[in-house]
A and B are shown apart, each in its own frame.
Chain A
Amino acid sequence: MRRLAPLVLAAIALALTSCAKKPDVTQITVQRIFGECRSAGAGARNPDGECEIITGLLDQFQRENPDIRLKVNIAAWPGYDQLSAQFAAGDPPDLVTMHMSAISDYQSRGLIEPMGPGLRSVGVDPAAFTRAAREGVTKNGQVWGLPFDNWAPLWHVNMNQFRQAGLVKDGRPILPTSADELLAQARQFKAATGKPYLVQAMANETASYSRNLYTWLMTQDAVFFPDPKHIKLTTPEAHRIVALFKTLHDENLSTRDQDYPAATSGFMNGDGGVYLVGTWMIGAFEAESHTPGRPLANGYAVVPYPRLFGTRDAAFVDGHAWVMPHRERTAEQRAAVYRLTRFLAEHDYDWSRTGHLPTMQAVIDSPRFKALPHRQAIAPLASMGQTLPPRVQRQFAIQDIIGDEMASAITGRKPIDTALADAERRVNDLLFHLL
């Protein structure tokens, strides 16, 4: 037994030494939305889907960087309940997806780190971002995240019905250039096809109302946020936008009472000429246009919102970004995070297959991006796209309030001016009570 003792001690010492040995793999936690699925490849549900592409990208990064271990946390959309809880518990991830419109909520409370210098150190120059992307992640002159995409509401057009209504010229849809022209074309469309001109998700939906308003306020150069704590909606510019939608509703020139899934399948089944929905549906509608016998077969186009009011080309955009929460991390972990951001920036094109706009100007200008279906038509959004002013907080809540009041005005439950005044009061009340 006495002879064995030194051997046992040596074994224990060896075990302890090996336990204490520094691991040569750096672990970082990446938290994202977009769901859980197999990566793009054989058997994938949708090779151009958000979920499949991001899964594939992170898997590829893991394969190419064996010295980094990615711990991927998938949060339920939009992920902010969980993220806020993680901050409260002092355990946020190292890198997390965040809507550009939500960055100010976290940045204003000092919860995320500025990323400009770190991005530059790995060769990702914010000057290379598109204007819309750069503005989306820049607050107080600093870059707070890696922009991953921009998205915007678009006019998805059923060209077969447009052709039937005589609204196609040289293979392109004839789009209105004013509110009056829109009404005239919508009436012409309805007379020719018997269908409403617009397909809209108007039930259980607030975002699309707000995005319509933002876009056409921007084209009129209206200053609706005179400062980040106040909104101004009791204006002629806002009134004329809401009045247009009310007329479309009253004259049955738009679908009614449909929620988002109903409006989407309605457009696919030929319920109307123009569907107001975002970049993310391009793939699904494009697939329909290649399916013989379907209402969109060989007859689908998509364009940015036409300028109906004002003199400026502008469009409201938002986007997804990767931000870096404040937390203790080693130099190796920090380096690993930035190596991942460089990888994601380098694969901007891959992500743009989802339908979202790339955030690197070089990708927008590249032939392979332009070769993707309809991307040439929506590429101008990268320069004319505009987020809300960078320091405006609680943009999700503001969107809900405005959408709620606009719905009341458009469906006739409130006079337009009352609804706009109520929206203004409620938003200002919300912003006043921010800590």
Chain B
Amino acid sequence: MSALDRAAGRNPWINRLGWAALVLAAGVMVLPLLWTVGLSLKSNGELLRDTASVFRGPYTLENYGSILQRAAVFRWLANSLLVSLCTTAGVLVLSSLAGYGFARLEFPGRRWLFALVLFGLAVPEQSVIITRHQLFSALHLHNTYPGLILPGLAAPFGVFLMTQYFKAIPVELDEAAMLDGASRRQVFWKVLLPLTLPAQATLGIFTFLASWNDYWWPLISATRSEMFTLTVGVASSQINFAQTSGLGFLMAQAVFASAPILVVYVFFQKYIVRAVSGAAVR
């Protein structure tokens, strides 16, 4: 028993048990990922006969080669990046402004309007998809970047999150800044906005991930190959019965499509953990 444990009155066996449980849970979580990567390194023919061949060689990169041989894949990658970044930026700007307005400004119908925004959280995408599709069709926005980005900008969760965050910041900070002669714009921009960075990071990460992984809207809005996002593009590349006859290629596509997200995770790990644990919202 360490001095620290003794001082804290902790039983080291409970600690070790806790660690063992965590390692086990982590193993359970990581196994499907390893399985996916393993399958992606095997030939389709071998996997058709026996998926257990993943435990023995030979391994190959031919599935990744097949993906990269298609020049369009880089276009799809760029499309996904552009759409996800623009959506994220748009959501951050709009949600911050709306959150500040709801938290700090008094205007007629504020509560009703906020309730209306919250109502948006309860409306599933499926229920509005046909109307939205028709609207975008009438505006000739299908197969365009605005067509892929605009629906993502309606983010009631973002408005809610930012409103709560602004509310948690003491009003005295605004008042002190105003006493020093700052305008409302300066208070927002120079005093409050920097304090909301943890919430911005949380919202940004969630928005980016959701936009990157979105499949349904791009599938029906971007129907021309040059406008596909990565999710739609890789799905269109699959042969029929891919799960049987093209399993290795299918898994390589999954790894390829997930790789940028993993990079995002590595860089923003701290914020993601905070966001998931709710620590970003005070």
Contacts and interface: CB of A to CB of B under 8 A. Distances in A.
Interface of A: 33-38, 45-46, 49-51, 72-77, 81-82, 84-86, 88-91, 260-261, 264-265, 268-269, 280, 284, 288, 294
Q: Which 10 A-B pairs have the closest CB atoms?
A: A85-B220, A35-B239, A36-B237, A76-B235, A89-B137, A261-B244, A74-B236, A76-B236, A89-B142, A51-B239
B225 interface: yes
Contacts, number: 94
B196 interface: no
Nearest to A74: B236
Contacts of B136: 89
A86 B244 contact: no
A89 B236 contact: no
Nearest to B72: A36
Interface stretch (B12-20, B44-52, B104-112, B114-122): B44-52
B225 A33 contact: no
A86 B223 contact: yes
A85 B239 CA distance: 22
B245 interface: yes
B56 interface: no
B246 interface: yes
B11 interface: no
Nearest to A262: B51
B70 to A, nearest CB: 6
A51 B240 CA distance: 9
Interface residues of B, number: 36
Contact of B238 (A35, A89, A91, A268): A35
Given A37-B66, A49-B239, 18 more contacts: A35-B238, A35-B239, A36-B70, A38-B69, A45-B44, A45-B66, A49-B245, A50-B240, A73-B225, A76-B232, A85-B219, A85-B221, A89-B142, A265-B50, A268-B49, A269-B50, A284-B48, A294-B49
Contact of A50 (B130, B142, B239): B239
Interface in B200-238: 219-221, 223-225, 232, 235-238
Contacts of A72: 225
17 contacts: A35-B240, A36-B236, A36-B237, A37-B66, A37-B239, A45-B249, A49-B239, A49-B245, A77-B238, A77-B240, A88-B130, A89-B137, A261-B247, A265-B48, A265-B50, A265-B51, A269-B50
A260 B241 contact: yes
B239 A73 contact: no
A73 B224 contact: yes
A284 B44 CA distance: 11
B220 A35 contact: no
Contacts of A38: 66, 69
Given A45-B66, A73-B224, A76-B232, A88 B137 contact: yes
B158 to A, nearest CB: 27
B154 interface: no
B242 interface: yes
B60 interface: no
Given A77-B240, A268-B48, A91 B220 contact: no
Interface in B46-82: 48-51, 66, 69-70
A265 B52 CA distance: 11
Contacts of B164: none
Q: Counting chain B CB atoms within 10 Å of each CB, which of A76, A269, A294 scores highest?
A: A76
Given A265-B50, A284-B245, A34 B220 contact: no
A294 B50 CA distance: 12
Contacts of A260: 241, 243-244
A35 B246 contact: yes
A37 B246 CA distance: 11
Contacts of A280: 240-241
Name the residue among B130, B224, B244 with the largest chain A CB count within 10 angstroms: B244
A90 B221 CA distance: 12
A106 B263 CA distance: 44
A82 B244 contact: no
B133 A85 contact: yes
A416 to B, nearest CB: 30
A73 B227 CA distance: 11
Nearest to B43: A45
A81 B240 contact: no
Contacts of A91: 142-143, 223
Nearest to A78: B240
A150 to B, nearest CB: 15
B66 to A, nearest CB: 7
A45 B143 CA distance: 31
Nearest to A263: B244
A74 to B, nearest CB: 5
B173 to A, nearest CB: 49
Nearest to A90: B137
Contacts of B183: none
A33 B236 CA distance: 8
Nearest to B133: A88
A315 B114 CA distance: 61
Given A45-B66, A74-B225, A76-B219, A88 B134 contact: yes
A91 B224 CA distance: 10
A64 B235 CA distance: 30
B239 A34 contact: yes
A289 to B, nearest CB: 13
A223 B267 CA distance: 64
B225 A35 contact: no
A38 B69 CA distance: 9
Interface in B175-210: none
Interface in B239-274: 239-247, 249
